[in-house]
């Protein structure tokens, strides 16, 4: 099991840990990590591991067996050994952009209140696929709406509910293709806003900014037809 340090502090850029496993594919498992593994449309983190005057570049991070998080080296050479203490250094600029895009996509699902059938997060842009038979009539109005929400400087927080509580509130789940992970007895929710001023509340395991003002202005890009009932909407950081 890997302790998910990124869940405790999404802004942590460095952390120490101990190597608990080297996988048969050459991946590195730590007892705790700030590196987010690929999931939910958010790419795995990259960065560097350092120990005793040595270092190795981490190209990406993925989920392993059980609750393990696997750091994938760019080159499988000069590896640390099991039990070695290491310092993990996150590629922070890339991760922070993922956080900004991810939170912006949650707000995109607010200004387009339709079921989401897919999505993807990048460092410069992201996109959501909506169950939307017809394209929006006014893309500029959508862009104005989401930038107004961003400018409200809303706090972004997390809370937890049980599987049973989520079953009683099915409207919280906006994604048609990806369901919240179950099995632990509780599900993480990400809230944008506070109390009656909540703009969005939905299950999510990804990393987010702490306040919408950190997103900055965004631009609505292409809106593509991806089937009879599907429209793909791109969102760009400015």
pLDDT at 133 over 90: no
Kind of pairing, strands 32-33 and 3-4? parallel
The residue among 56, 90, 124 that closes a domain is 90
Tell me, what's the pLDDT at 4? 95
Task: Please tell me whether residues 43 and 140 are part of one structural domain.
Answer: no
Percent of the chain with pLDDT over 70: 96
Task: Please tell me whether residues 233 and 120 are part of one structural domain.
Answer: yes
Token reading at 93: 């600029």
pLDDT at 179 over 70: no
pLDDT at 174 over 80: no
Task: Please tell me whether residues 26 and 39 are part of one structural domain.
Answer: yes
Task: Please tell me whether residues 120 and 169 are part of one structural domain.
Answer: yes
pLDDT at 184 over 80: no
The residue among 26, 60, 90 that closes a domain is 90
Tell me, what's the pLDDT at 50? 97
Tell me how crowded residue 126 is: count the other CB atoms within 10 A of its CB: 26
Q: What is the mean pLDDT of the chain?
A: 93
Dist CA 30 CA 49 (whole Å): 11
pLDDT at 224 over 80: yes
User: pTM (2 decimals)?
Assistant: 0.94
Q: Is 116 helix (H, G, I), strand (E, B) or coil?
A: strand
Tell me, what's the pLDDT at 180? 62
- Which of 188, 216, 212, 185 has its CA nearest to residue 201? 188
Higher pLDDT, 151 or 66: 151
Percent of the chain with pLDDT over 90: 79
CATH number for 80: 2.40.30.130
Task: Please tell me whether residues 105 and 209 are part of one structural domain.
Answer: yes
The residue among 90, 107, 122 that closes a domain is 90
Residue 59 CB partners (closer than 8 Å, separation 6+)? 46, 72, 73, 74
Q: Which H or E run includes 141?
A: helix 139-150
CB 33 within 8 A of CB 88: yes
Task: Please tell me whether residues 124 and 178 are part of one structural domain.
Answer: yes
Dist CA 29 CA 21 (whole Å): 5
Task: Please tell me whether residues 13 and 35 are part of one structural domain.
Answer: yes
pLDDT band at 183; cut points 50, 70, 90: low
Task: Please tell me whether residues 113 and 209 are part of one structural domain.
Answer: yes
Higher pLDDT, 170 or 67: 67
CATH number for 111: 3.30.980.10
Task: Please tell me whether residues 118 and 221 are part of one structural domain.
Answer: yes
- Structural domain of 123: 95-237
Reported as a single tens digit per residue, the pLDDT across 191-213 is 999 988 999 999 999 999 999 99
Task: Please tell me whether residues 112 and 156 are part of one structural domain.
Answer: yes
What value does the mean pLDDT take over residues 165-184?
70
Task: Please tell me whether residues 116 and 208 are part of one structural domain.
Answer: yes
The tally of domains found in the chain comes to: 2
Tell me, what's the pLDDT at 134? 87
Task: Please tell me whether residues 49 and 158 are part of one structural domain.
Answer: no
């Amino acid at each position: 099991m890997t302790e998910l340090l990124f869940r405790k502090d999404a802004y942590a850029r460095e952390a120490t840990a101990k190597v608990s496993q080297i996988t048969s594919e050459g991946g590195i498992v730590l007892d705790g990590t700030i590196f987010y593994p690929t999931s939910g449309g958010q790419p795995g983190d990259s960065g560097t591991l350092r120990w005793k005057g040595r270092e190795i570049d981490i190209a990406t991070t993925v989920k392993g067996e059980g609750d393990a998080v696997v750091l994938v080296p760019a080159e499988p050479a000069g590896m640390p050994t099991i039990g070695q203490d290491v310092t993990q250094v996150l590629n922070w600029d890339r991760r922070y952009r993922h956080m900004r895009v991810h939170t912006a996509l949650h707000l995109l699902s607010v200004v387009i209140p339709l079921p989401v059938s897919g999505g993807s997060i990048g460092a410069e842009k992201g996109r959501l696929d909506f169950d939307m038979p017809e394209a929006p009539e006014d893309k500029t109005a959508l862009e104005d709406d989401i930038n107004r929400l961003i400018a409200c400087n809303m706090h972004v927080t997390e809370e937890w509910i049980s599987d049973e509580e989520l079953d009683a509130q099915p409207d919280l789940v906006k994604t048609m293709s990806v369901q919240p992970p179950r099995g632990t007895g509780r599900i993480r929710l990400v809230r944008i806003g506070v109390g009656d001023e909540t703009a969005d509340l939905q299950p999510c395991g990804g990393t987010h900014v702490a306040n919408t003002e950190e997103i900055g202005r965004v631009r609505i890009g292409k809106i593509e037809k991806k089937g009879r009932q599907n429209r793909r909407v791109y969102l760009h950081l400015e």
